[in-house]
Amino acid sequence: MSERNNKRKRQRNKRFKEDPQILPSPSHSSKRSKLKEPSSFLDKMRARLSGGHFRMINEKLYTCTGEEALDYFQGEPSLFNLYHAGYKSQMSNWPEQPVNVIIKWLKKQSPSFVIADFGCVSILGEALIAKSVKNKVFSLDLVSNDPNVIACDMANSPLVSSSIDVAVFCLSLMGTNYQSYLEESYRVLKPGGYLLIAEVKSRFDPNNGGADPEKFSNAISELGFKSVKQDFSNKMFILFYFTKKEKQISKKKEIEWPMLKPCLYKRR
């Protein structure tokens, strides 16, 4: 029996040598490519689902108050991580990051300055400013995955009044009550302290539904700040620099705050 099987094998091998097409051997590379196809398909589907969730959460943050956003993420903290994964993916396409411009400016200031970073996780990594400068930094955001980050509503922080030298809002004026965040920065800043705001340029395009940057700057000045500089040099974002006036306003008048255009991402 075994001799018959061996004879068949020899005959098969002989025919294959004469005409390799008769008994083609399976290609391992083709097997691997076939295995890659469904994996690649699943990766694409996951990316689309992740992108859809990011756009949904992003729109939510631009159309609710800070308090509502805090409740939203506290109810489902995993959404915060999903949102920032999508956020980092979007920001990776920018030629320059506003947080790096701010960090460069901070490094030129006194190392004794105390900094409040409002919306610290919104900028390419958790508490990037705190990790990049020697100053004492209070890092605040809606969710904390880091013991050094304070989870809070940015309109109601635990910081002591007149205790901060620099308040930073880097792409974090997202809520419908963004003016409350700026009022909070006024409360915590020392007289003469700095307020730095970086925002997406499209939010300040009056010809396309955005706010007038001068009206925005004037509203902040009426709050009790002095405009020092506006930097329009970058095509992706604008930087506003203010200082808190030495003479504090005892009674604030009603301020007409311009509506900042939500920065919503289209489905691709």
| Kind of pairing between the strands at 237-244 and 225-231 | antiparallel
- The angle that helices 213-223 and 178-188 make with each other, rounded to 10 degrees, is 40
- Local structure of residue 263 (DSSP, 8 states): -
- Range list of H helices, 77-209: 78-91, 98-107, 128-132, 178-188
Tell me the C-alpha to C-alpha distance, in Å, between residue 232 and each of 199, 201, 204, 224, 239. 11, 8, 11, 23, 7
Distance CA 187, CA 160 (A): 8
| Residue 28, pLDDT score | 44
- The angle that helices 78-91 and 66-75 make with each other, rounded to 10 degrees, is 110
Instruction: Provide the CATH number for the domain formed by 96-244 in this structure.
Output: 3.40.50.150
pLDDT band at 118 (very low <50, low <70, confident <90, very high): very high
Distance CA 241, CA 264 (A): 25
Q: What kind and span of H or E run contains 151?
A: strand 149-151
The SS3 assignment for 212 reads: coil
Is the model more confident about 173 or about 70? 173
Taking all residues of the chain, what is their mean pLDDT, rounded to a whole number?
A: 80
pTM across the whole model: 0.76
| Residue 7, pLDDT score | 55
Lowest mean pLDDT among 3-12, 67-76, 183-192, 241-250: 3-12
Give the CATH architecture of domain 28-90. Orthogonal Bundle (1.10)
Q: For the chain, give the percent of residues with pLDDT over 70.
A: 74
| Residue 19, pLDDT score | 44
| Residue 248, pLDDT score | 72
166 has a pLDDT exceeding 90: yes
pLDDT band at 104 (very low <50, low <70, confident <90, very high): very high
Domain boundaries, the chain: 28-90, 96-244
The model's pLDDT over 19-73, given as tens digits with 9 standing for 90+, comes to 444 444 444 444 444 444 445 644 443 444 445 566 777 777 788 888 888 887 7
| Structure-token pair, residue 89 | 């993916």
| Residue 27, pLDDT score | 45
| Residue 68, pLDDT score | 87
| Residue 173, pLDDT score | 94
**Averaged pLDDT, 129-156:** 92
Lowest mean pLDDT among 29-33, 155-159, 207-211, 244-248: 29-33
| Residue 76, pLDDT score | 79
**Averaged pLDDT, 149-178:** 94
**Averaged pLDDT, 193-214:** 93
| Structure-token pair, residue 175 | 């809520």
The model's pLDDT over 61-97, given as tens digits with 9 standing for 90+, comes to 788 888 888 887 777 777 777 776 777 777 778 889 9
| Residue 35, pLDDT score | 42
